[in-house]
């Protein structure tokens, strides 16, 4: 932390949504081949916005709000969150939402659209059709104004083979329907035939739920930005900042670090997209992924009209040391107590800021690995990389 005085996020969810609606970041429990995230990872994500929630009620899994979270918050001066509505499994999650909607008359702000037979659209705070449309990868050209686009083609599953005969490696395959994706799941980067065969296998397994695919040029990028904005009628459009995304060679999300000297044209392109979203009924936080190539051309490769992994990092900037910030997730290898002990050690050192903690030991009847996400912060990247390596070594030692 920079100092001991009370610091607030630069913007909270209650600033955007008020306090009469309820927020949930959990994806639906329904099957989705393009969001194949483990149940515990989905539960863990429900605690990620607690610090930036403000006064809005948030639906959170019980394992994400145990005393371990409070212990981690104490060294950084964060008070125990209060506006929490808890669930513990699919049944209690769905019962809670239906009670809030049908009995209490509450509208729910969903991070991800849920299936139609679960809850009627009228109970969505943000219109469900708007949420789905803006996150549909096939419709990305509409929201960019047909600008900032890599070469891309929308095809049916049946015509994929024929269309691919006109493409050379490397290219990217993405689902183009209404099902949500996140964290790089559903993004299939193909450098060769072996990777293409693997992608076709995934497509085949999902063909009963997805009939449209995107073939897209793979950009040789020198920078990968997530540029984030917030919009409400009261606030208007506000630029929240940008991070550089860390991904592996297959496009899977590996965290974010703070971005300096973001090109003005990237920020402006993101603002144009946010304006288009607002004109079509969107309100809330959104993050847009832009690649910049060696020619300084920019390409919009993904539009996430929802909060992102690094949103909390941007809104909590005032809590961190000046310099380098890195957002990342960690999972316990086996010993949850040792995992928590080491996480707490580095939080107490003042170099690791806690965002969320999922307490695997809450599950007394089965073995569940704990999870943690936070922000490393220090004067420069080299120091943080050295400290993070010490952290990883400590996790492996006993």
Q: Which of 26, 152, 306, 371 is catalytic?
A: 306
Is the separation of the CB atoms in 134 and 143 below 8 Å? yes
Query: DSSP readout, 149-160?
Result: --SEEEEESTTH
Q: Beta strands of 99-205 (E only): which ranges?
A: 108-110, 152-156, 171-175, 188-190
Residue with tokens 């288009």: 276
Sign for the CA dihedral angle at 252, 254, 256, 261 comes to negative
Q: Confirm whether 306 is a catalytic residue.
A: yes
Give residue 54's region: left, alpha or beta (phi > 0; psi -120 to 50).
Answer: left
> Which secondary structure element, helix H or strand E, spans residue 267, and what is its range?
helix 264-279
Is the separation of the CB atoms in 175 and 155 below 8 Å? no
44 contacts: CB under 8 Å, gap ≥ 6? 61, 63, 64, 356, 358, 371, 373
Is the separation of the CB atoms in 137 and 175 below 8 Å? yes
Is the separation of the CB atoms in 6 and 77 below 8 Å? yes
Is the separation of the CB atoms in 22 and 44 below 8 Å? no
Measured between alpha carbons, how far is 311 from 355 in angstroms, rounded to an integer?
Answer: 11
Give residue 248's region: left, alpha or beta (phi > 0; psi -120 to 50).
Answer: beta
Rounded to 5 degrees, φ, ψ at 239 are: -80, 120
Measured between alpha carbons, how far is 5 from 196 in angstroms, rounded to an integer?
Answer: 54
Measured between alpha carbons, how far is 124 from 343 in angstroms, rounded to an integer?
Answer: 37
Measured between alpha carbons, how far is 220 from 216 in angstroms, rounded to an integer?
Answer: 12
Residues with active-site annotation = 306
């Amino acid at each position: 932390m920079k100092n001991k005085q009370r610091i607030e996020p630069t913007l909270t969810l209650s600033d955007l949504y008020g306090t009469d609606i309820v927020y949930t970041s959990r994806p639906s429990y329904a099957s989705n081949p393009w969001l194949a995230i483990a149940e515990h990872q989905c539960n863990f994500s429900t605690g990620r916005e607690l610090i930036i929630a403000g006064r809005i009620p948030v639906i959170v899994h019980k394992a994400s709000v145990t005393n371990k979270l409070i212990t981690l918050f104490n060294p950084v001066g964060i008070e125990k969150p209060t506006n929490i509505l808890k669930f513990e499994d699919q049944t209690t999650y769905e019962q809670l939402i239906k009670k809030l909607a049908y009995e209490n008359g509450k509208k729910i702000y969903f991070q991800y659209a849920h299936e139609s037979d679960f809850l009627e659209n009228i109970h969505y705070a943000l219109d469900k059709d708007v949420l789905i449309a803006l996150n549909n990868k096939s419709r990305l050209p509409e929201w960019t104004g047909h600008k900032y686009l890599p070469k891309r083609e929308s095809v049916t599953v049946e015509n994929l083979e024929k269309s691919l005969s006109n493409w050379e490696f490397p290219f990217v395959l993405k689902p183009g329907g209404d099902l949500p994706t996140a964290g790089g799941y559903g993004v299939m980067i193909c450098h060769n035939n072996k990777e293409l065969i693997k992608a076709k296998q995934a497509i085949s397994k999902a063909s009963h739920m997805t009939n449209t695919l995107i073939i897209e040029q793979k950009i040789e990028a020198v920078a990968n930005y997530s540029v984030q904005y917030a919009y409400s009628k009261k606030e208007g459009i506000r630029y929240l900042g940008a991070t550089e995304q860390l991904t592996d060679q297959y496009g899977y999300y590996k965290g974010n670090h703070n971005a300096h000297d973001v090109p003005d044209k990237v920020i402006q392109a993101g603002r144009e997209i946010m304006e288009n979203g607002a004109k079509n009924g969107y309100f809330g936080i959104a993050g847009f992924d832009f690649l910049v190539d060696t020619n300084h051309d920019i390409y919009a490769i993904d539009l996430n009209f929802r909060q992102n992994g690094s949103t909390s990092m941007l809104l909590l900037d005032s809590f961190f040391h000046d310099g380098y910030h890195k957002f990342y997730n960690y999972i316990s290898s086996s010993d949850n107590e040792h995992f928590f002990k080491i996480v707490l050690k580095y939080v107490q050192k003042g170099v690791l800021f806690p965002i969320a903690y999922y307490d695997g030991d809450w599950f007394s009847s089965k073995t569940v690995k704990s999870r943690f996400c936070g922000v490393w912060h220090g004067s420069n990247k080299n120091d943080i990389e050295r400290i993070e390596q010490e952290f990883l070594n400590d996790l492996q030692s006993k």
